[in-house]
Structure 1
Amino acid sequence: MKYQLKINKLNDQLNFIHLEIDDAIEICEKAIKIILTSVEELKKDISKRKFKSQEEEIRFFREIRPQFTSKLIYYNKIYKIETKKPRGGRRIVRKYYRNELQKLKQFFDYELEFYKYYRTGSTYLDYKYFVRGDFDIKLSLDSLYFESDLQFATLHSYKVAKIMAHDLLEVYIEDKLIETNNNLSQKPSQHQPNINLTWTGSKVALTELLYAIHSEGVFNNGAVDLKTIAEFLESVFNINLGQYRRTFLEIRIRKSERTKFIDSLKNNLLKRMDDADY
């Protein structure tokens, strides 16, 4: 619970940055500083305590620490991608982003064995992968492991973080490719409402609603893609959803309350119905 509160606090800080800043490079600079501070606090906390069992240690290095490290990897990689992005036409930029996407694929291909182990929820090698100081040289080792603080790292905790970060990076790059697609010109909405409404809830909540609407298939008998619905909601509610695919990925990996906004809608509507009965 304590670590979950730390993660929630970090996520709130990062979400605030995205709301306040539009420039990707500036977002990354501020995000990295915040994450480094959070990781350092986590490191100090671990140095002051001992795990009660091997199971507790495994859980920390498999599930908790990677949630912090993955964010550092993610924003650091975006910073490098955006600062090295070539100046040129859309064709050049698209080629650049495709190459970055290919690099992610190469990582997954190289780490395929561990990727399958982690994605399938296997645990039979956790005692080797996620326990400090007890590494097997016969296993695939990352040189970074030997350069890190071995009291705050295990053999594969960093690899889990990279998998989590690369999931987010894949969404980020795909969104950038969509933005630079010559065939997807920005067209003003033909359905302008008579009254201007501004969404004053969170972007996360609207993203949750966006995916729920798309999943239900309530527009044009379900023959509308996600991007079209997103643009419609942005136009109607006077809001920029930003990287909604990345936001949805964050919602997906929530440990609890994955449909927080939808649940709140249901509960408040039921309460209103109950109140109206009296």
Structure 2
Amino acid sequence: MNSKITLLLSNLNEQISFIDLEIDDTIHKCEKAIEIILISNNTLKKIITKNNFKSEQEEILFFKEIKPQFTSKLIYYNMIYKIEMKKPNGGHRILKKYYNNELIKLKAFFDNELEFYKYYRSGSIYLDYKYFLRGKFDIKMSLDSYYFETDRNFSTSHDFKVAKILANDLIQLYLENQLLIIDNKDTSEKSQHKPNIKMTWTGSKVALIELMYALHSEGVFNNGASDLKDIAEYFEHIFEIDLGQYRRAFLEIRARKSERTKFITALNDTLTKRMDNSDEVI
């Protein structure tokens, strides 16, 4: 059972990564992500329904650590979808107020669930038998009403709360990133200090596109929250270059018969040679 779930989660993460790479529009991206997450969650439920846990420890592990990884993705993309659908039309000031209000809502959840949040974040286990075993709920624990409407064979009193905590971490990151983007736009509209030296990209556009996709895949910008389109526009701005149809260029890179990561490989070889050169002056 564990191997099936591990493979299921791995495939889900891979599909979501592909969606993040290929779709720029946030709303469309959320729609596609939710679609595949629902399929994965349904498959996960079937696996659990057909198989019994070998021990209470295995059951606790599943509902405390494994299932929330699936559920949190659904919560995250559904919440981002709602946030973007309700986003008001207006200037930067209106948008900043909107995103800040969403952050306040996240804090409200944190305040309401402070006791359990501390328990989970501290790695405590002494109440796991109540929180993460099916049918072991305690009405005195101020349970959310939705719990009584869930499938008791596939839910415990607190597995959804864990998923909510994980999702909220990502939602907070998303909102803070949106605020940062707005601040950066505000700054760019004002006279800002610019380096005296202008850096011009003198390599090929294909090489820059290959580098751009590699950096996006590694998630090095804004903790991986930056869209590919944002990175492309940033590269075009700082290097004053038109990357054109970079998605088509990436398809051509991917279809190379020989070395697909030609530029990245060349970078690695060049840097390695430099490191190996004992006469190199740092």
1:194 to partner: Cα distance: 1.9
Specify the alignment match of 1:73 in structure 2.
75
Q: Structure 1 residues 85 and 209, CA, compared in 2 at 3 Å: closer, same or farther?
A: closer
Q: Distance in 2 between matches of 1:210 and 1:179?
A: 10
The answer for the alignment partner of 1:154 in structure 2 is 156
- Specify the code of the residue in structure 1 equivalent to 2:89: R
Q: Give the CA deviation at 1:5.
A: 1.8
8 Å contact from structure 1 (residues 178, 184) kept in 2: no
Q: Which residue of 2 aligns with 1:192?
A: 200
**Structure 1 Cα separation of the partners of residues 39 and 174 of structure 2:** 24
Aligned partners of 1:113 and 1:146: how far apart in 2?
21
Contact 1:145 1:155 in 2 (8 A): yes
State the AA in 1 paired with 2:132. Answer: F
Q: CA deviation at 1:176?
A: 0.6
Per-residue deviation, residues 152-185 of structure 1 (Å, max 9, x unmatched): 1001000000000000000000111111225332
Q: 1:74 to 1:87 in 2, by over 3 A?
A: same
The alpha-carbon deviation at position 29 of structure 1 amounts to 0.8
Q: Determine which structure has greater relative contact order: mean sequence separation of CA pairs < 8 Å that are 6+ residues apart, divided by chain length.
A: 2
Deviation at 1:96, TM superposition (A): 0.3
Aligned pair in 2 of structure 1 residues 36, 234: CA closer, same or farther (>3 Å)? farther
The TM-score, its normalising length taken from structure 1, stands at 0.74
Partner of 2:260: none
Q: 1:178/1:202 Cα in 2 relative to 1: closer, same or farther (>3 Å)?
A: same
- % identical equivalent positions: 54
Distance 1:210 1:232 in 2: 15
Counterparts of 2:63 and 2:236, CA distance in 1: 40
Distance 1:209 1:125 in 2: 38
Q: Contact 2:64 / 2:132 at 8 angstroms: preserved in 1?
A: yes
Task: State whether residues 177 and 222 of structure 2, in contact with CA within 8 Å, keep that contact through their aligned partners in structure 1.
Answer: no
Paired residues for 1:182-261 under 5 Å: 183-185=186-188, 190-196=198-204, 197-200=207-210, 202-203=214-215, 205-208=217-220
- How many residue pairs get aligned? The number is 229
Where do 5+ consecutive residues of structure 2 fail to align?
224-233, 245-264, 277-282
> Which residue does 2:255 correspond to in 1?
none
Quote the RMSD (CA, aligned, Å): 3.1
Read off the aligned partner of 1:113 and give its amino acid letter.
E
Contact 1:61 1:153 in 2 (8 A): yes
Letter in 2 for 1:192: T
| Amino acid paired to 2:188 | S
Structure 2 equivalent of residue 21 of structure 1: 23
